[in-house]
Structure 1
């Protein structure tokens, strides 16, 4: 799964990185080294405007709220979407058809169970220091309790798609480590798949998902796992110091 991650770059830098046409100048996000679900996060999506594709960086609520939801609390349970069932689940299936996005991340945290109740956090990130682009979905939800024209009447929300982790016995050491760390893995998009995944004209969302799933472990083979500071477990702690262990837990 992916329940805590790092995104410290500015929306402007992300727009340049993903060759986006625009970014939310009027709504800057501070850098964060400890993003929990229900936070506001940057996503990259494409829309058709006057018949032309427009790619932009947008700010979304992390926890997808489907259009039919009665209130936004649904998003608390849907910050991740299992790729095996996303095409059938009412919460995700409509978004999978034409509202796909990328969720940029510098890396994410996962906890390994130790003796007793002890857990060691690890920071998982690309070995080359590059950005991850997690496969995601997004939705627009209207709060019917607010006026149609109110600035906050519409909520943009997102989820990160996950897949089974590699086998703990995988022949490639990093994939074996990921398999021992957790049984789920966020799906990272290869840059060659990004444009196709984002394109809302591509309606075979289930087919696209199978294609990116098939490359999920290959993408993960370029990652590394570093012991992180246990302080990351408290969402109030937020600094680059969390990325490196300050003291062994076990």
Structure 2
């Protein structure tokens, strides 16, 4: 799964890297401890005057389906299991028509060691070896707040979710993939640039094959990551700063 991640790039850097455009007034808050329900950047494509345009928007992390009575449902839907995303009522409409990419510099995962009272959860920072951005496969939705006036700019809420899949099997062929296997049984799905172009394109209406292609390519993308143990302070959402990604001595320490 993905429950915390890092996104501290400036908006200009993100726009250039994603080959997208953004509103001049759009501002990104640097964060080394992004948590569900935060406002996060997403990359999507829309048809504007019959031309496909790639854009960066801000969305609430935690998808709120259009039929929801209130936005609180988003607290439980920040991740979407790729195996069931086409059937689950919360996600099935979005995955067919509103797909996005969620950029991140890396994400945190907690590994449980020991049992009972001696059990300890150790946080790890997972990120590309070359410090490039990860683009996770995501979906987005617009939710209308019926209690607000039609001309209220806050009437519409944009929200998103990150797709996940099973972690790699342990094969002994890749230290990174074996490390991911031992870290958690779920993996947020990363995309290469070609896959991202396919995923974002709203003209691709057949979501099923796209989801299968995501899963087929994800482990290859993840094989270029690295893992390192980081300070336990990351477990508190009130802590936020680059020191959270600093390595401590551990199994995957760099």
Q: Same fold (TM over 0.5)?
A: yes
Count of matched residue pairs: 248
- Report matched runs for 1:1-250 at 5 Å: 1-20=1-20, 22-115=21-114, 116-245=118-247
Question: Contact 1:11 / 1:24 at 8 angstroms: preserved in 2?
Answer: no
Task: Measure, in 2, the Cα distance between the counterparts of 1:190 and 1:206.
Answer: 18
> What is the RMSD of the two structures over their aligned residues, measured on CA atoms?
1.4
Contact 2:138 2:163 in 1 (8 A): yes
Inter-partner Cα distance in structure 2 for 1:149 and 1:195: 34
1:211 and 1:77 map into 2 onto residues whose CA distance is 26
Q: Is the 8 A contact 1:24 1:59 kept in 2?
A: no
**DSSP 3-state at the match of 2:27:** coil
Distance in 2, matches of 1:191 and 1:84, equals 22
* CA 222–237 in structure 1, closer or farther in 2 if over 3 Å, else same: same
Q: 3-state DSSP class of the match of 2:3?
A: coil
Q: Please give the alpha-carbon distance, in whole angstroms, between the structure 2 residues aligned to 1:209 and 1:25.
A: 33
**Would you identify which runs of 4 or more consecutive aligned residues in structure 1 move more than 6 Å?**
none
Q: What TM-score, normalized by structure 1, do the two folds share?
A: 0.96
Contact map agreement 2:229 2:249 (CA 8 A) in 1: no
| CA–CA separation in structure 2 for the residues paired with 1:106 and 1:59 | 17
Cα drift, residue 129 of structure 1: 1.1
Compute the displacement of 1:247 (Å).
7.2
- Unaligned runs of at least 5 residues, structure 1: none
